[in-house]
Structure 1
Amino acid sequence: MAPQRFHEQFDHIQRSLPDVPLTMGPDDSAGFLYEKGVVLVRDGEEAGFVEDTVRTHFTETQGLVPDHVRRIGPQAGRTGVTRIRVGDPAEGEDTVPHALRAVREAEDRQGRRLVGRNHVVHIAPVNACPGDEPVPAPRTEPANPAPAEGGYDPGTAVGVLVVDTGLVHDHRSYPLLAHTSGDTQLTETDDHGVLRQYVGHGTFIAGLLAAVAPNTDITVRGTLNDAGAVLESEFGALLFEAVDRDGWPDIISLSAGTPSADHDGLIGLDAFMRELREQRTLLVAAAGNNGCDTPFWPAAYAALPEYADCVLSVGALRADGESGACFTNHGPWVRVHAPGERLTSALTGFVTPVPYVYQHSTYDTCRFGADYPCTCQYPRHTGVLSEGRESTGAKPDQVMFEGLAQWSGTSFATPVAAGLVAARMTAYRERDPRAAGAALLADATERAEVRGAHVPALRPPTWRPVPAVIPAVPA
């Protein structure tokens, strides 16, 4: 099946970044998005070396000295990276692969990667191929996971930072989020009063965290408000900004990232990850929703020895909890799986009902080849972005959110796992989040089947498995 949802998402993200020419790779295979004609390097001598190497390569192979090979944009700043233009995007062919090949021999000699693509980092259930879109939950359906026992004590609460979209304006009308703080969503609805895509993502995550771990001080930063997408060259600085505002927390819950052809991380996150390693903070990061084993960063840092104790990568279990959700990324770099399909939490508050128009259409069969009634197929709806919709006359479906919602993705397995770490810290009076995370994994005796492998699984006591049947359409 053609990756239609990937291309729909590509177009949507390109509109959100109108001044940045984007392309996809590798070789148009719907793996990841990146800035066309630009590579990312560490500032200083390496940047100058890359410029000279690429210019020499183009001179020898094409018989000209391209004057467009130069550093662009602001100074590297705290992240220690800068962008180098290696081609003119208006000329058509993307020159980034040629530039990367030009530097590979030098990298082999130095034993270190010097240059990489400037990836687009995006919210995990909306990584170029979304897990799904939110669905209004039946009015009689309670939160799932349900609120755990225990109260909130500001003196002992575990500090959790959610780096995501901002909170909806009426989030405190949902009791679990009464003491949640942070940034509000800049614009929630369009000119017609319809909920914008991905609005409520951060609120939904905060609701899951508060349900699993009531004794938490949750701060939500709207770092990814702009369609959930940001260039890698800017992402490190935004993460620094988020932790600098309130200090390094006990736990960071991050439901964003990107696949990459590189296997040693993202150059744009080098500085942030090095500083994270020196803190006591545990980064809990989503494994992504491409349904493959390609490392998804920054979650995949969990597989690198120097970051194994400070990063917890989380994949998603399907609604019945027995195996992996069809969309979840997988592989040895994913440390644990948690429920991430058809979870129920607060998308908006309860003050004003708000309509939403679906952007993507469901598929006739699972786009990842699964044989259960997954969210690729149900509940059925037609989306605005679907190719061929106008020729068939199909109208996009609209729903009304006036309470809880169901949503799926590794984005939501991530706060479930982060909440379990926080809950363990409270239960055992543990002040070290990394020690709590390691103990949680060590004590995890439950397993789930994910693409033929039996992997560690975390299932909150208050989470209810949902049978693998076609769900009813909400009333």
Structure 2
Amino acid sequence: MAPQRFHEQFQHIQRALPDIPLTMGPDDSAGFLYEKGVVLVRDGEEAPFVEDAVRTHFTETQGLVPDHVRREGPQTGRTGVTRIRVGDPTQGEDTVPHALHAVRQAEDRRGRRLAGRNHVMHIAVNACPGDEPVPVPRAGSANPAPAEGRYDPATAVGVLVVDTGLVHDHRCYPPLAHTTGDAQCAETDADGVLRQYVGHGTFIAGILAAVAPNTDITVRGTLNDAGAVLESEFGALLFEAVDRDGWPDIISLSAGTPSEDADGLIGLEAFMWELRDQRTLLVAAAGNNGSATPFWPAAYAALPEYAGSVLSVGALRADGEGGACFSNHGPWVRAYAPGERLTSALTGFRVPVPYVYQHSTYDSCRFGPDAYSCTCQYPPHTGVLSEGLTSTGGKPDQVMFEGPAQWSGTSFATPVVAGLVADRMTRYRERDPRAAGAALLAATADRAEVRGARAPALRPPTWRPVPAAIPALPV
């Protein structure tokens, strides 16, 4: 992913989390975000062992006083992790890479990773946006269009969407008439302008309901705060989401983070262990970095112990024939589904709401020499976060939302696949969501070209390709 947009988003997330000093990894590139001066370890004997190893290393090599390295309480309980402060984040270079290096030899002896960064977990259009939403005429139709079928509360498949909350008028969008959950916090700013990421969870729920009408969809606003939360807190928030209503058939999660670690995230370990012992299928977005670097928790799908419980989803481009330029890819991505220029609910139909674009489009694809009319370029607009905009006297583009929207990202390919699994459960009276997911993948012979590989492609019957000729952005 080109650093420009990543850096713009970094500043936005840092403003939303002002009390948490953040930095980028691994080298100020468009990789991941994490908390400065803190590492995560497991509770129990590993926490004091890591604390002592880091303290000894820093005392001997950098002359830091022992108080600079300390466990921070209270511990996080059910998630089984402890924060260890490894330096003052306001003073000079971040000490986290040095601390992780200090425990590397101990990890080699013990045969597993003992410490990790405290990553920022974010919705998949947050630190790596595919694009921003585009208004669709009020009379515009959904894509995917609503499938035939009826909602039967006695047989409906339970789907939990962990995301931003529901906009207040979501029930004005017919497919969401019986969707429940948390309200979206602070939909507009002091000037009445729609905030960035508002409607993300509502958009996802609209896609799910269109693909699988016989679903009980619950949307939890776990990521209402700018779509970002620290890894040390995310595991507990996921537990809270499933505890409120019980483990559902399917969790649709369009959030995560890249990481240098190849065996998952310490902060999610306890949740993933419990998930593994349930019947729930986690359908997770692969992320929008245009990279093969694993994006967690979607990448758990490639670990043998989680293979049946996690289904990772990448995005197809608008014509459905190949991978979207922004989509992450690699052997850890199990399937691809339409995720570019889908149409669903962003706001209801009552009062038009203005939105100001945050990012500018590019002259060419920011992920490489892709030859199609991708969302990097079209529809063209100028964003308020663009460097030099104020100095040149330019103004960001503003549009009005009063109904459906068109949006792109693996965030939205994910509910397509979650919906296809739920629909299969209804049609075949399948009670096991993991068996339904495995059968769905086994039954599809469709393939799409993704970065030189032929990958499984799941295209809903009611989805239609979007023409390459993209109209100008409405103003």
Q: TM-score, normalised by structure 1?
A: 0.98
Q: Secondary structure at the residue paired with 1:438?
A: helix
What CA distance in whole angstroms lies between the structure 1 residues aligned with 2:471 and 2:85? 50
Residue 315 in structure 1 maps to residue 314 in structure 2: yes
What CA distance in whole angstroms lies between the structure 1 residues aligned with 2:193 and 2:62? 51
What CA distance in whole angstroms lies between the structure 2 residues aligned with 1:469 and 1:261? 39
State the shift of 1:330 in Å. Answer: 0.0
1:58-78 deviations in whole A, cap 9, x for unaligned? 122124434110012422211
What CA distance in whole angstroms lies between the structure 1 residues aligned with 2:209 and 2:224? 21
Deviates more, 1:366-375 or 1:408-417: 366-375
| Other-structure match for 1:110 | 110
| Other-structure match for 1:469 | 469
Contact residue 138 and residue 474 of structure 1 kept, 8 A: no
Residue 333 in structure 1 maps to residue 340 in structure 2: no
Q: Counterpart amino acid of 1:110? A: R
Residue 209 in structure 1 maps to residue 208 in structure 2: yes
Q: Counterpart amino acid of 1:191? A: A
| Other-structure match for 1:55 | 55
| Other-structure match for 1:445 | 445
| Other-structure match for 2:388 | 388
Q: Secondary structure at the residue paired with 1:274?
A: helix
1:2-21 deviations in whole A, cap 9, x for unaligned? 51100000000001110000
Q: Secondary structure at the residue paired with 2:65?
A: coil
What CA distance in whole angstroms lies between the structure 1 residues aligned with 2:73 and 2:17? 16
What root-mean-square deviation, in Å, do the aligned CA atoms of Structure 1 and Structure 2 show? 1.0
Contact residue 399 and residue 474 of structure 2 kept, 8 A: no
What CA distance in whole angstroms lies between the structure 2 residues aligned with 1:433 and 1:355? 40
| Other-structure match for 2:39 | 39
Q: Counterpart amino acid of 2:320? A: G
What CA distance in whole angstroms lies between the structure 2 residues aligned with 1:165 and 1:302? 24
Residues 205-284 of structure 1 correspond to what in structure 2 (within 5 A)? Answer: 205-284=204-283
| Other-structure match for 1:456 | 456
Residue 403 in structure 1 maps to residue 403 in structure 2: yes
Q: Secondary structure at the residue paired with 1:89?
A: coil
Q: Secondary structure at the residue paired with 1:294?
A: coil
What CA distance in whole angstroms lies between the structure 1 residues aligned with 2:128 and 2:335? 21
1:254-299 deviations in whole A, cap 9, x for unaligned? 0000000000000000000000000000000000000000000000
Q: Secondary structure at the residue paired with 1:121?
A: strand
Q: Counterpart amino acid of 2:331? A: P
**Percent of pairs with identical residues:** 86
Q: Counterpart amino acid of 2:414? A: T
Alignment size in residue pairs: 474
| Other-structure match for 2:295 | 296
What CA distance in whole angstroms lies between the structure 2 residues aligned with 1:474 and 1:308? 44
| Other-structure match for 2:423 | 423
Residues 59-78 of structure 1 correspond to what in structure 2 (within 5 A)? Answer: 59-78=59-78
What CA distance in whole angstroms lies between the structure 2 residues aligned with 1:97 and 1:186? 35
Residue 200 in structure 1 maps to residue 195 in structure 2: no
Contact residue 381 and residue 473 of structure 2 kept, 8 A: no
Q: Secondary structure at the residue paired with 2:160?
A: strand
Residue 434 in structure 1 maps to residue 438 in structure 2: no
State the shift of 1:134 in Å. Answer: 0.3
Residue 342 in structure 1 maps to residue 341 in structure 2: yes
Q: Secondary structure at the residue paired with 1:92?
A: coil
Deviates more, 1:460-469 or 1:17-26: 460-469
Contact residue 38 and residue 84 of structure 2 kept, 8 A: yes
* Structure 2 stretches lacking a partner, 5+ long: none
| Other-structure match for 1:6 | 6
1:91-145 deviations in whole A, cap 9, x for unaligned? 120000000000010001100110000000000122x221110000134431000
* Structure 1 stretches lacking a partner, 5+ long: none
Contact residue 129 and residue 289 of structure 1 kept, 8 A: yes
Q: Counterpart amino acid of 1:90? A: T
What CA distance in whole angstroms lies between the structure 1 residues aligned with 2:58 and 2:303? 34
Q: Counterpart amino acid of 1:23? A: T
Q: Secondary structure at the residue paired with 1:218?
A: strand
State the shift of 1:319 in Å. Answer: 0.3
State the shift of 1:184 in Å. Answer: 0.6
What CA distance in whole angstroms lies between the structure 1 residues aligned with 2:350 and 2:274? 41
Q: Secondary structure at the residue paired with 1:264?
A: coil
Contact residue 22 and residue 36 of structure 2 kept, 8 A: yes
Contact residue 171 and residue 177 of structure 1 kept, 8 A: yes
Contact residue 123 and residue 411 of structure 1 kept, 8 A: yes
Contact residue 56 and residue 65 of structure 1 kept, 8 A: no
Contact residue 43 and residue 81 of structure 1 kept, 8 A: yes
What CA distance in whole angstroms lies between the structure 2 residues aligned with 1:379 and 1:434? 38
What CA distance in whole angstroms lies between the structure 2 residues aligned with 1:59 and 1:379? 55
1:145-198 deviations in whole A, cap 9, x for unaligned? 000000000000000000000000010011100000000112111111110110
Contact residue 380 and residue 472 of structure 2 kept, 8 A: no
Contact residue 78 and residue 270 of structure 2 kept, 8 A: yes
State the shift of 1:471 in Å. Answer: 3.3
Contact residue 344 and residue 404 of structure 1 kept, 8 A: yes
State the shift of 1:252 in Å. Answer: 0.1
Q: Secondary structure at the residue paired with 2:103?
A: helix
1:31-58 deviations in whole A, cap 9, x for unaligned? 0000001001111211100100001111
Q: Counterpart amino acid of 2:196? A: Q
What CA distance in whole angstroms lies between the structure 1 residues aligned with 2:466 and 2:452? 22
What CA distance in whole angstroms lies between the structure 2 residues aligned with 1:347 and 1:308? 33
State the shift of 1:352 in Å. Answer: 1.3
Q: Secondary structure at the residue paired with 1:91?
A: coil
What CA distance in whole angstroms lies between the structure 1 residues aligned with 2:2 and 2:412? 26
Q: Counterpart amino acid of 1:410? A: T
Q: Secondary structure at the residue paired with 1:60?
A: helix
1:369-407 deviations in whole A, cap 9, x for unaligned? 122111111111111111111111110111000111000
Contact residue 128 and residue 287 of structure 2 kept, 8 A: no
Q: Secondary structure at the residue paired with 1:293?
A: coil
Q: Counterpart amino acid of 2:201? A: G
Q: Secondary structure at the residue paired with 1:421?
A: helix
| Other-structure match for 1:371 | 371
Contact residue 43 and residue 82 of structure 2 kept, 8 A: yes
Q: Secondary structure at the residue paired with 2:90?
A: helix
